[in-house]
């Protein structure tokens, strides 16, 4: 295998930070850690998963299902219920830590502030842990 083909090998890309594609290094919107008990429903089937949103930004969030298995559902259209409101998006990443979801419509700054005031770590419950990319 040539060096060039090795550079584009997926396993190698994930080991070298500047070669990662779709990683937090590419993120344009700041993600803030939070703890929001929520549920995720698949649009293609009447299936609902209970779990936790553990980081959120205006354009996306990470959902960790309560079940012990994370199935590869990349590309699935989903709805996430938070505080009696449903946010729609697409699963764009599947990791051990949960599903990375790109939201169809961005969350307004005011709405995000309300969510983070109630559920974010910056409200004094824990240290504010903000990831920037």
Q: What is the pLDDT of residues 67-114, one digit of tens each?
A: 877 888 899 999 999 888 999 999 999 998 899 999 999 999 899 888
Distance CA 80, CA 19 (A): 31
Q: What is the DSSP letter of 65?
A: E
Q: What is the pLDDT of residues 19-70, one digit of tens each?
A: 444 444 445 667 788 899 999 999 998 889 999 999 999 899 999 998 877 8
Q: Distances from the Cα of 97 to the Cαs of 39, 118, 122, 124, in angstroms?
A: 16, 23, 21, 24
Using a cut of 0.85, tell me whether the model's pTM lies above it.
no
Cβ–Cβ under 8 Å, residues 33 and 120:
yes
Record the tokens describing residue 107, joined without a space: 């969350």
pLDDT bucket at 126, cuts 50 / 70 / 90 = very low
- Walk me through the domains of the chain, giving residue ranges and CATH numbers: 29-131 (2.40.10.220)
Record the tokens describing residue 40, joined without a space: 């995720």
Instruction: Please report where in the chains the tokens 């070298």 appear, as a residue.
Output: 16
């Amino acid at each position: 295998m040539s060096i060039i083909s090795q550079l584009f090998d997926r396993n190698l890309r994930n080991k070298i930070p500047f070669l990662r594609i779709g990683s937090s290094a590419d993120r344009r919107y700041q993600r803030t850690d939070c703890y929001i008990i929520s549920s995720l429903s698949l649009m293609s089937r009447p299936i609902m998963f209970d779990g936790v949103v553990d980081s959120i930004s205006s354009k996306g969030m990470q959902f960790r299902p309560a079940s012990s298995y994370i199935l590869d559902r990349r590309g699935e259209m989903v709805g996430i219920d938070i505080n009696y409101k449903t946010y729609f998006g697409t699963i764009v990443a599947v990791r051990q830590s949960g599903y990375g979801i790109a939201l169809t419509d961005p969350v307004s700054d005011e709405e995000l502030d309300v969510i983070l005031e109630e559920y974010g770590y910056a409200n004094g419950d824990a240290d504010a842990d903000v990831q920037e990319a």
